[in-house]
Amino acid sequence: MHIDLTHYSYLTPLSKRIDLSEDCKNLLYLNHKEKTWEHVQQVAKVAQDLALTYSIDPQSAYICGLLHDISAIIKPEDMLGLMKENQQNIDPAEEKYPFLLHQKISALIARDYFHINDPMLLSAIVCHTTLHTSPTKLDMILFLADKIAWDQAGEATYLKELTVSLTHSLERACLTYINYLFNEGNLLYPHHDLIEAQQYLMGVTL
Ligand SMILES: [Fe+2]
Ligand SMILES: [Fe+2]
């Protein structure tokens, strides 16, 4: 399955390439997603810091942060259309809320438009909203960085508990956030991967 940005008439693609960071910024700006650029820069910085703490390549974490929401330039209905055209499995949660597909579409753009081929980086991007069973350190770092770099008004209600959990382990911090989603009634519709992630993390953090 591939993605071709020229297929979407409302998109303005890059006219020239500079480097990954500039290209990411320019593609978002050309398509009126300035807020997304603010958000992904913060996520990239937090991911880089977490990577240093947990002995992961900081540059990989930074790149994942920059590209994780690059699919903001694509309309959710087009994300669903692309998945269906390619006979991809669609979780009932994604069918109901196509925006949930943005993690998978971001990974496609990262690979096909930004030439990121490292499966570790693509994995982290592909599960940054739902996580999945047996996540890698990089998967968990990007998942957490996205939640720590809160982009709404005020402070995230889960942030204190998540920060405490993070002093124990990445696994415990991820579980803290997932439990918060399930307990606070903040879930629109539980994604299969999120349920599996919770079960896995409960097992390893006993
Ligand atoms: Fe996202
Ligand atoms: Fe994000």
Structural contact between residues 43 and 89, judged by C-beta atoms closer than 8 angstroms: no
User: 3-state DSSP: the chain helix, strand, coil percent, rounded to 5?
Assistant: 65, 0, 35
Mean pLDDT score, 97-125: 98
Query: Contact, 116 vs 67, CB < 8 A?
Result: yes
Q: Are 13 and 74 in contact (CB under 8 A)?
A: no
Please give the distance, rounded to the nearest whole angstrom, from the Cα atom of residue 104 to the centre of ligand 1. Answer: 10
| Euclidean distance between CA atoms 202 and 205, whole angstroms | 5
Q: What is the DSSP letter of 154?
A: S
Count of CA atoms in the C-beta half-sphere (13 A) of 31? 22
Asked whether the predicted pLDDT for residue 162 surpasses 80, the reply is yes
d(C-alpha 14, C-alpha 25), whole Å? 10
Q: What is the mean pLDDT of residues 151-174?
A: 90
* 47 backbone dihedrals φ, ψ, rounded to 5°: -60, -40
Please identify which residue in the block is written with the tokens 């982290």.
Answer: 124
Mean pLDDT of the chain: 95
Q: How far is the CA of 68 from the centre of ligand 2 (A)?
A: 6
Distances (CA, A) of 11 to 29, 73, 181: 11, 7, 33
Q: What average pLDDT does this structure show over 61-90? A: 97
* Cα of 81 from ligand 1 centre, angstroms: 19
Residue 131 pLDDT exceeds 90: yes
Confidence (pLDDT) at 184: 81
Question: 129 C-alpha to center of ligand 1: Å?
Answer: 6
- Phi, psi (deg, nearest 5) at residue 165: -60, -35
Q: What is the pLDDT of residue 168?
A: 96
**Rounded-to-integer distance, Cα 15 and Cα 4, Å:** 15
Looking at the chain, the number of H-run helices and the number of E-run strands are: 11, 0
pLDDT tens digits along 11-58: 999 999 999 999 999 999 999 999 999 999 999 999 999 999 999 999
Dist CA 50 CA 138 (whole Å): 9
User: 198: which 2 tokens?
Assistant: 């919770």
Ligand located closest to 43 CA: 2
Q: How far apart are the CA of 99 and the centre of ligand 1, in A?
A: 9
Joined tokens for residue 167 = 């002093």
Question: Of the bound ligands, which one is closest to the alpha carbon of residue 35?
Answer: 2
Residue 186 has pLDDT above 90, yes or no: no
